[in-house]
A and B are shown apart, each in its own frame.
Chain A
Amino acid sequence: MSYREKFTGELQSLTDEVIDLGVLCYDRLQGVTNLLSMDDIEPARDLVSGDVEANRREYNINSQAVTLITTQAPVATDTRIIISSIKIAYDLERISDNISNLAEVRKRVKITNEKLLLRLRTMEQLASLMLKDVYAAYLDQDTSLCKEVYERDEDIDSLFVHVTTSDIFEDSDLFVSGQSQLCAKYLERIGDHVKNIAEHVYFVITGEKIEKID
């Protein structure tokens, strides 16, 4: 096998690792807001401890990327794939952290406000769809889908603004409403990280930064 073939294989395994981490985060995200209203606290505890795996995988991606940079002196698309793998892995790891933070909230309080839960659930689903679509955008090398995902973060942002400025907390006690606001913040951050990933994927494909559509 030529060096170039070996290098191509190693690049492929690097991107596969990033995709695996993405799938792990996607799975962790599913139903995270349902935990907040659950009577049983165990699923939340399990979710928190699952973060270790995401950290381990991020570390592996980084060390593989470092090895490729030092041994292959990559250029052009190869460089973009390696650098973006590091960045995407970081964003995914942060998404996983925020999922754990959401689960941590359930260890402290149980949220019963249905109005609020509905909004949080919507934020979760929006983020989850963005993550799914950014993966599809990578597979199909679809730049317009990258842009779309990038723009869709605004939906989560406006829900966040809505949750934090509306009167849906009026009945709750102060501690519970504080914790609820944190949940909204964590979900909003997850949206931001997926938005970043869309930017990185766009960069891998085009070598350029996403121009905001006005």
Chain B
Amino acid sequence: MANIKERNEIKKTVDTATLEDKTQGETKPEIIREPIFKTNNFNLWYGDNHALQDINLTFNKNEISAIIGPSGCGKSTFVKSLNRMVELVPIVRTEGEILYRDQDIFERKFTVEELRTKVGMVFQKPNPFPKSIYDNVAYGPRVHGIRKKQILDEIVEKSLRDAAIWDEVKDRLNENAIGLSGGQQQRICIARALATEPDVILMDEPTSALDPISTTKVEDLMQELKKNYSIVVVTHNMQQAARVSDTTAFFYQGYVVEHDDTKVIFENPRDQRTEDYVSGRFG
């Protein structure tokens, strides 16, 4: 009997020791998240079609936020709303707020030009201008009135370096950008977006037209860019969203079904529709 008593004593000490270890291990440094985009009950109609319904989302600084969902769920419409590009469609009507750094982007005093300087965009198909690589990247700064060759040179080099394509094109800056491969063209478009020193980069399926190697390069680039910029990316590629993003929002039929840390969305989603979509049961 004495033996058992002794064992229990030892067991107790061991148990309390592991308990202490656990509590020590759990105190993680808290990540401070600074919201950069916040939407409040944002609604959008194409004529009679209620395309986005009560969207309440927050995107944070220095994070990659992925938007996933089946075709026609409103994800591209939503991203294009963030830099007001969606207004190019004449029958569009919106309601609710989109706050960029706590300022409503639909307010009169906030001009579209100002917004689009801060919120750059990269599209699904690489769309360089039929001009030289240099002129493509210098286009934005020139529009903003920068004429000095030396400053433009600096901006072009920095943007191309940030877009991880400088080494590939530095000896042929005067060649036409159309002659580059699809993956290179896409990175030129990213460099062009970076040249105006934006704050946020919107990407609408940036790699769906690219081969796997170029895709990897763009994904690596996104990880680098996230240190200085905030990225919102629309993607059809589930694995890409799971790999590159910090948070993921699942859009379905114009609603946000679930928005959470990417880990939660792909490992243990709360909503059955999210589970069904990410595991390929529909969509």
Contact, CB under 8 Å: A75 / B266: yes
Q: Which of B92-148 contact A (CB under 8 A)?
A: none
The 9 closest A-B pairs by CB, nearest first: A207-B268, A75-B266, A165-B3, A75-B278, A4-B280, A78-B279, A76-B275, A76-B279, A75-B279
Contact, CB under 8 Å: B278 / A76: yes
A165 to chain B, nearest CB (A): 5
Contact, CB under 8 Å: A76 / B267: yes
Q: Which of A49-99 contact B (CB under 8 A)?
A: 73-79
The docked-state distance in angstroms from the alpha carbon of A166 to that of B3 is 9
The verdict on A136 contacting chain B, using a C-beta distance below 8 Å, is: no
Contact, CB under 8 Å: A207 / B267: yes
Contact, CB under 8 Å: B268 / A76: yes
The verdict on B281 contacting chain A, using a C-beta distance below 8 Å, is: yes
The verdict on A161 contacting chain B, using a C-beta distance below 8 Å, is: yes
Contact, CB under 8 Å: A76 / B266: yes
The verdict on B238 contacting chain A, using a C-beta distance below 8 Å, is: yes
The docked-state distance in angstroms from the alpha carbon of A208 to that of B3 is 37
A208: which B residues are within 8 A, CB to CB?
A: 268
Listed residue (B4, B238, B279, B281) with the most chain A CB atoms within 10 angstroms of its CB: B279
The verdict on A26 contacting chain B, using a C-beta distance below 8 Å, is: no
The docked-state distance in angstroms from the alpha carbon of A99 to that of B266 is 39
Which residues of A are in contact with B by a Cβ distance under 8 Å? Answer: 3-4, 7, 73-79, 161, 165, 207-208
Contact, CB under 8 Å: A77 / B279: yes
How many Cβ-Cβ contacts under 8 Å join chain A to chain B?
A: 33
Closest residue on chain A to residue B6 by CB atoms? A165
The docked-state distance in angstroms from the alpha carbon of A74 to that of B3 is 50
B23 to chain A, nearest CB (A): 15
B4: which A residues are within 8 A, CB to CB?
A: 161, 165
Closest residue on chain A to residue B4 by CB atoms? A165
Closest residue on chain B to residue A165 by CB atoms? B3
The docked-state distance in angstroms from the alpha carbon of A76 to that of B4 is 45
Of A3, A73, A77, A78, the residue contacting B239 (CB under 8 A) is A73
Closest residue on chain B to residue A3 by CB atoms? B280
The docked-state distance in angstroms from the alpha carbon of A207 to that of B267 is 8
Closest residue on chain A to residue B238 by CB atoms? A75
Q: Which of B241-280 contact A (CB under 8 A)?
A: 242, 266-269, 275, 278-280
A165: which B residues are within 8 A, CB to CB?
A: 3-4, 7
- New A-B contacts (11) at CB < 8 Å, excluding given A3-B280, A207-B268: A75-B242, A75-B266, A76-B269, A76-B278, A76-B279, A78-B279, A79-B267, A161-B7, A165-B3, A165-B4, A207-B267
B242: which A residues are within 8 A, CB to CB?
A: 75
The docked-state distance in angstroms from the alpha carbon of A161 to that of B1 is 11
B268: which A residues are within 8 A, CB to CB?
A: 76, 207-208
A-B contact pairs, 29 of them (CB 8 A): A3-B280, A4-B279, A4-B280, A4-B281, A7-B280, A73-B238, A73-B239, A74-B279, A75-B238, A75-B242, A75-B266, A75-B267, A75-B279, A76-B266, A76-B267, A76-B268, A76-B269, A76-B275, A76-B278, A76-B279, A77-B275, A78-B279, A161-B4, A161-B7, A165-B3, A165-B7, A207-B267, A207-B268, A208-B268
The docked-state distance in angstroms from the alpha carbon of A169 to that of B21 is 39
The docked-state distance in angstroms from the alpha carbon of A161 to that of B278 is 48
The docked-state distance in angstroms from the alpha carbon of A74 to that of B267 is 10
A155 to chain B, nearest CB (A): 16
The docked-state distance in angstroms from the alpha carbon of A76 to that of B68 is 15
The docked-state distance in angstroms from the alpha carbon of A76 to that of B248 is 14
A7: which B residues are within 8 A, CB to CB?
A: 280
A77: which B residues are within 8 A, CB to CB?
A: 275, 279
B275: which A residues are within 8 A, CB to CB?
A: 76-77
